[in-house]
């Protein structure tokens, strides 16, 4: 009888626990910078949450405007005044422009993700990028693995789950469908996916999952008065409300019809004699291009910090850990020696035959840019602050010079003329240094103080005594090579950061944000468009550089689509989708092939029969 009574009491307590309501306060897109008006508004909101009956707080990304260390330190100090347990995940403003290569956030908040039980609930939070370059959000391979692991560990008996992520699952999360498929597997029971990013308040079904999307803390519709969100759930149903700080009452989320997921443009047939093969799968996310040695060894870096070497047959030759995530594409300085920048403040040199490290140069900050080699010389930014020139001789590395110019974070690939090296930085400036000495020759600015309009991730094109760039200010700009004088600027189409130069230097090719490719004449004192081709990409902001090889121009999209265009006429030759994530870069090899990588970790090679 006593045993039966104990069982009944336990069952009653479990049922009561399961039925008990949980209240969660959610903050999203708070966008706080030191000294701005959002700081006091966040403090005001926190004071109200502290006095409320909310049990815990979740912040779903975009805590800052630029993800700088000062901004993150500042917002962490404010959030620490919360008297409730709180958990935060980064948004694109923490992962895209971060001066710490997205490392400061986990250092301050403990991690970029979380998973735990709260009463009868399972709460999971994921980072969703994009990482260190403009593009769609993406849940990295290692975070997908974490999601699978934590669902199995915490929700394998059908416990109710709430997933928190900065991006809604569609349309700007490139692998949102993959995330949805993981969530919808039996026996998992997903109450809702909670996100922000859109700066719009709504609730709708996306990929068959209830999606609750919060708007920013200070929506203009409220005159800038701060808002936060309240989720109330008993484990069976969930209600979502927006709360205007300092005012009574709650506003229910407006419901919308299930989202119709946009479809990608159809692929076309490859021309006769053109073949595209998947060469390799890194089994991890990849944010770099691939470097090809004269001996045919391919090398790339992964989001987990590994360098992988393989051949054209897809055989893995070796792998070695180079630190945390790699964003710098390896570059060969000697036929069998390559360099790569790392986010643990290093420029490292390796042998291609076995991955052995031969040198490591300490830098003051994370190196996310890619260097450029000429002969056996390497020109590369040291993350921020300094720019370097190294020389490789018989497997030894010598530093020829460094310019300690206090440059902002350098992200793109420098360009070389016979006398200058040209590069941009996230400090609103484009710079030209003497190749021989490293002395600064000139600097250029578009005149806008907005740092996010900087030529930070540009790949300058040098042709016919000009430097041409496209940047986030949506202009193409031509600058005189000798002295940095601005020659012309044009925004007749929506330029961004995707550029390449023709083999003969007579034109540059730029992909627009409307999914077009334009050819523009070089050496002119005005903008002269040679042709425009609609690639069929639609809206596109992936910064993948454009490559001309053997008379064909290759451009890559944010959705894994590659298009090939005739360099002379601008005629679209073919278009094909190879995945769902952005194309990182194209690389030509000595055998006439063109390689490209996707963020999802796959590597392809285009070959043409001549």
Q: What is the Cα–Cα distance from 371 to 389, expressed in whole angstroms?
A: 10
Both tokens assigned to 260: 């119709």
Give the H/E segment covering residue 399.
strand 396-407
Residue 247: pLDDT over 70: yes
pTM given for the model: 0.94
Give the H/E segment covering residue 448.
none
Q: What is the Cα–Cα distance from 395 to 349, expressed in whole angstroms?
A: 9
Confidence of residue 3 (pLDDT cuts 50, 70, 90): very low
The whole-chain average pLDDT of the chain stands at 95
Q: Reply yes or no: is the peptide bond before residue 171 cis, omega within 30 of 0.
A: yes
Question: What is the mean pLDDT of the segment spanning 179-198?
Answer: 97
Give the H/E segment covering residue 81.
none
pLDDT on residue 336: 95
pLDDT on residue 601: 98
Contact 6, 41 (CB under 8 A): no
pLDDT tens digits for range 500-532: 999 999 999 999 999 999 999 999 999 999 999
Q: What is the Cα–Cα distance from 100 to 412, expressed in whole angstroms?
A: 16
Greatest CA separation for the chain: 97
Rounded to 5°, angle at Cα 410 from 404 and 412: 140
Domains of the chain: 20-252 (3.60.21.10)
- Side-chain-side CA neighbours of residue 135 (13 Å): 30
Q: Please, which residues bridge with residue 605 across strands?
A: 277, 595
Residue 355: pLDDT over 80: yes
Contact 228, 26 (CB under 8 A): yes
pLDDT on residue 13: 39
Q: What is the Cα–Cα distance from 451 to 427, expressed in whole angstroms?
A: 6
Residue 403: DSSP 8-state: E
Q: What is the Cα–Cα distance from 545 to 439, expressed in whole angstroms?
A: 28
Residue 340: pLDDT over 90: yes
Q: What is the Cα–Cα distance from 154 to 165, expressed in whole angstroms?
A: 18
Rounded to 5°, angle at Cα 137 from 241 and 30: 40
Q: What is the Cα–Cα distance from 334 to 369, expressed in whole angstroms?
A: 19
Contact 293, 352 (CB under 8 A): yes
Question: What is the mean pLDDT of the segment spanning 416-420?
Answer: 98
pLDDT on residue 18: 44
Q: Distance of alpha carbon 135 from its chain centroid, rounded? A: 6
pLDDT tens digits for range 55-104: 999 999 999 999 999 999 999 999 999 999 999 999 999 999 999 999 99
Q: Minimal CA–CA distance to 287: which of 132, 180, 113?
A: 132
- Tell me the CA distances in angstroms from 51 to 40, 84, 197, one per residue in order: 17, 10, 27
Question: What is the mean pLDDT of the segment spanning 123-149?
Answer: 97
Residue 20: pLDDT over 70: yes
pLDDT on residue 222: 83
Contact 398, 419 (CB under 8 A): no
pLDDT on residue 17: 41
- Tell me the CA distances in angstroms from 37 to 32, 47, 49, 225, 569, one per residue in order: 8, 16, 19, 11, 52
Both tokens assigned to 401: 């010079």
Residue 315: pLDDT over 90: yes
Contact 184, 193 (CB under 8 A): no
Residue 245: DSSP 8-state: T
Confidence of residue 223 (pLDDT cuts 50, 70, 90): confident
Residue 256: pLDDT over 80: yes
Residue 309: pLDDT over 60: yes
pLDDT on residue 262: 85
- Tell me the CA distances in angstroms from 95 to 101, 208, 515, one per residue in order: 7, 28, 24
Q: What is the Cα–Cα distance from 148 to 540, expressed in whole angstroms?
A: 30
Contact 455, 448 (CB under 8 A): no
Q: What is the Cα–Cα distance from 297 to 144, expressed in whole angstroms?
A: 30
pLDDT on residue 285: 98
**Burial category of 251 from C-beta neighbours within 10 Å (exposed 0-12, middle 13-18, buried 19 and up):** middle
Which residues 6+ apart lie within 8 Å of 97 measured at CB?
A: 66, 67, 68, 426, 452, 456
Three-state SS at 263: coil
Residue given tokens 């260097």 in the structure block: 371
Confidence of residue 4 (pLDDT cuts 50, 70, 90): very low
pLDDT on residue 7: 38
Directed axis angle between helix 69-79 and helix 38-50, to 10°?
30
**DSSP track, 364-395:** SS---S--EEETTEEEEE-SSEEEEEEEEETT
Residue 1: pLDDT over 90: no
Residue 536 region by backbone torsions, left for phi larger than 0, else alpha for psi between -120 and 50, else beta: left
End-to-end CA distance of the chain: 88
Q: Minimal CA–CA distance to 566: which of 586, 549, 552, 580?
A: 552
Q: What is the Cα–Cα distance from 166 to 281, expressed in whole angstroms?
A: 27
**How many secondary structure helices (H) and strands (E) does the chain include?**
7, 44
Residue 33: pLDDT over 50: yes
Confidence of residue 5 (pLDDT cuts 50, 70, 90): very low
Contact 576, 270 (CB under 8 A): yes
């Amino acid at each position: 009888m006593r045993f039966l009574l104990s069982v009944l009491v336990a069952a009653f307590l479990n049922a009561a626990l399961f039925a008990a309501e949980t209240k969660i306060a959610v903050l999203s897109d708070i966008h706080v910078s030191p000294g701005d008006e959002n700081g006091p508004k966040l403090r005001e909101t926190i004071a109200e949450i502290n006095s409320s009956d909310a049990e815990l707080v979740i912040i779903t990304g975009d805590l800052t405007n630029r993800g700088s260390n000062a901004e993150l330190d500042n917002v962490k100090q404010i959030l620490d005044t919360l008297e409730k347990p709180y958990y935060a995940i980064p948004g694109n403003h923490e992962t895209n422009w971060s001066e710490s290569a997205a490392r400061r956030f986990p250092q301050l908040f403990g991690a970029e993700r979380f998973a735990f039980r709260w009463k009868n609930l399972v709460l999971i939070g994921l980072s969703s990028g994009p990482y260190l370059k403009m593009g769609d959000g993406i849940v990295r391979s290692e975070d997908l693995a974490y999601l699978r692991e934590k669902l199995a560990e915490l929700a394998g008996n059908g416990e109710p789950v709430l997933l928190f992520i900065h991006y809604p699952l569609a349309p700007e999360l490139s692998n949102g469908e993959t995330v949805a498929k993981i969530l919808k597997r039996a026996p998992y029971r997903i109450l809702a996916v909670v996100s922000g990013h859109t700066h719009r308040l709504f609730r709708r079904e996306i990929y068959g999952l209830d999606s609750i999307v919060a708007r920013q803390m200070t929506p203009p519709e409220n005159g800038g008065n701060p808002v936060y969100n309240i989720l109330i759930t008993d484990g069976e149903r969930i209600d979502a409300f927006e709360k205007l700080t300092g005012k009574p009452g709650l506003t229910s989320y407006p419901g919308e019809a299930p989202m119709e997921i946009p479809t990608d443009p159809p692929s076309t047939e490859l021309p006769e004699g053109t073949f595209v093969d998947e060469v390799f799968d890194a089994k991890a996310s990849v944010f770099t291009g691939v470097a090809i040695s004269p001996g045919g060894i391919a090398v790339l870096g992964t989001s987990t910090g590994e360098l992988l070497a393989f051949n054209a047959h897809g055989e893995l030759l070796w792998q070695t850990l180079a630190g945390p995530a790699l964003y710098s594409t390896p570059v060969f300085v000697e036929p069998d020696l390559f360099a790569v920048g790392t986010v643990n403040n290093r420029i490292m040199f390796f042998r291609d035959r076995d991955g052995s490290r031969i040198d490591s140069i300490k830098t003051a900050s994370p190196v996310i840019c890619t260097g450029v080699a000429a002969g056996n010389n390497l020109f590369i930014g040291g993350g921020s602050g300094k720019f370097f020139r190294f020389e490789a001789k018989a497997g030894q590395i010598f530093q020829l010079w460094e310019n300690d110019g206090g440059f902002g974070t350098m992200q793109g690939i420098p360009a070389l003329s016979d006398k200058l090296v040209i590069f941009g930085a996230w400090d609103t400036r484009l710079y030209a240094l003497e190749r021989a000495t490293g002395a600064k020759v000139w600097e250029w600015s578009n005149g806008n103080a907005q740092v996010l309009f900087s030529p930070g991730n540009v790949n300058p094109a040098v042709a016919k005594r000009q430097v041409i760039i496209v940047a986030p200010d949506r202009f193409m700009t031509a600058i005189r090579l000798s002295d940095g004088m601005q020659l012309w600027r044009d925004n007749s189409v929506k330029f961004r950061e995707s550029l390449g130069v023709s083999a003969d230097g007579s034109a540059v090719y730029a992909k627009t944000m409307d999914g077009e490719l334009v050819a523009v004449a070089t050496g002119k004192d005005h903008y002269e468009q040679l042709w425009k081709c609609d690639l069929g990409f639609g809206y596109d902001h992936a910064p993948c550089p454009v490559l001309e090889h053997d008379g064909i121009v290759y451009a890559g999209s944010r959705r894994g689509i590659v298009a090939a265009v005739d360099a002379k006429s601008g005629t679209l030759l073919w278009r094909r989708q190879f995945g769902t994530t952005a194309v990182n870069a194209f690389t030509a090899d000595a055998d006439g092939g063109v390689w490209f990588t996707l963020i999802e970790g796959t590597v392809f090679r285009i070959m043409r029969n001549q």
